[in-house]
Structure 1
């Protein structure tokens, strides 16, 4: 899943509803019911949403445009306009720096077309992405020899993720500013989000607010609830379903 998969941001206001986090088996089972609700109809879907609410921090399970589905681990995320957006890159770097949208646009731009694969089974094929390849961003701040991992934080205030340095140096890991041929929308995690092409969607953190270089991998939101730290599509989380 991705913040989870695609977090629903339709709820109003800054209030956050806290549930009891649960493990991967329960989440996958309940999301399977969520997929059934999408197929069968709104009445069943409402029942699934009510069932989810008392036991987990996942909120609504809804179909989204273009084949994406939207879940949530917080009740709302306050939007940031491109003019308001700032992202700090710090930790074990030679020079911590805060990037605006203009700063990101001034760096080399990378374009990718890749599938988006959720660990719960759904996939959106051939999604167009554009932004700054993470290696180029890391080069812009200078990485300390002590750094072995990269930690990402969402400005939703809750969600986090990490990659090893080798994973972060892949050219198919993007600090994405465009998606589907347009700026990344708020509902899709904009104005800036992470896209980790070879891994399941829960690694592709939405509403990217900060990057920290660290000495070791720090488990992210779903890893602390039972998901694999390395989320390779088709080779993790008990799955053997790499897209063909």
Structure 2
């Protein structure tokens, strides 16, 4: 989700990203009072913008924040739910507290966006995706995963083999604090060895499927398997997490 996107196989130009970023900066300058007005402006822009980018929030610590919905999604820690369903023996819905009570792990990797920016040595903490899949019991015909988000727009995908890697997690901590709303909290996906658009924000659903179902950006021309350094984008970048 943290990337500029593409349409008909072509990446969005930098000028579009910078222009939307300037609007996002206004939100910081004037505070929450103009959030609804800013969203209205962005919504008006999106009606004439084929890229699908409807807001870019200003970043901190080197991050740039992108959002393809017309609003900034929100779930409280108490209201948050993550559902695991599809081709599994035990469909399950987790609260945030229940996720935090499962075996935890941390990963420290460089975050790499397909647009070129990078944030080194970023720590994510949470539950390995393989742990959740083992608890759910994947049926023999399960071959892939589809991820959905509570913005009701974004989606992502992984093969089952990719999902079971030891550097793929469902994260609720980032740099030792809870994942913030801007960063996709309370819970987001983190796929360390791939470009950051594979690490879906505001994660709400994991569905095991019999085939790969391309996600939001893949439907707009980006690689389904977005290995850092081996997919479209910055092909000269070193491979993270491997």
TM-score by length of 2: 0.83
Going from structure 1 to structure 2, the CA distance change for 1:198 and 1:26 (only over 3 Å counts) comes to closer
> CA–CA distance in 2 between the matches of 1:148 and 1:121?
31
Q: CA deviation at 1:75?
A: 1.2
Q: CA deviation at 1:102?
A: 1.7
5 Å matches for 1:116-127? 116-127=111-122
Q: CA deviation at 1:156?
A: 0.3
Going from structure 1 to structure 2, the CA distance change for 1:26 and 1:165 (only over 3 Å counts) comes to closer
> CA–CA distance in 2 between the matches of 1:52 and 1:114?
35
> CA–CA distance in 1 between the matches of 2:67 and 2:233?
23
- Alignment partner for residue 17 of structure 2, among 34, 40, 59? 34
Going from structure 1 to structure 2, the CA distance change for 1:96 and 1:240 (only over 3 Å counts) comes to same
- Aligned partners of 1:233 and 1:241 also within 8 Å: no
> CA–CA distance in 2 between the matches of 1:161 and 1:38?
24
- Alignment partner for residue 191 of structure 1, among 181, 186, 195? 186
Aligned residues: 220
- Name the structure 1 match of 2:29: none
- Name the structure 1 match of 2:223: 228
- Alignment partner for residue 110 of structure 1, among 105, 109, 118? 105
1:203 aligns with 2:204: no
Q: Secondary structure at the match of 1:224?
A: helix
1:97 aligns with 2:95: no
- Name the structure 2 match of 1:5: 3
- Name the structure 1 match of 2:132: 137
Going from structure 1 to structure 2, the CA distance change for 1:210 and 1:51 (only over 3 Å counts) comes to closer
> CA–CA distance in 2 between the matches of 1:197 and 1:183?
18
> CA–CA distance in 2 between the matches of 1:176 and 1:158?
20
- Name the structure 2 match of 1:217: 212
Going from structure 1 to structure 2, the CA distance change for 1:145 and 1:127 (only over 3 Å counts) comes to same
- Name the structure 1 match of 2:72: 77
Unaligned 5+ segments in structure 1 are 7-20, 44-48
- Name the structure 2 match of 1:11: none
Cα displacement string for residues 1-56 of structure 1 (whole angstroms, at most 9, x for unaligned residues): x2x439xxxxxxxxxxxxxx8344251x2x355359979xx79xxxxx89974222
- Aligned partners of 1:52 and 1:58 also within 8 Å: no
5 Å matches for 1:18-33? 22-27=7-12, 29=13, 31=14
Cα displacement string for residues 68-91 of structure 1 (whole angstroms, at most 9, x for unaligned residues): 112221111341111111111000
Unaligned 5+ segments in structure 2 are 27-41
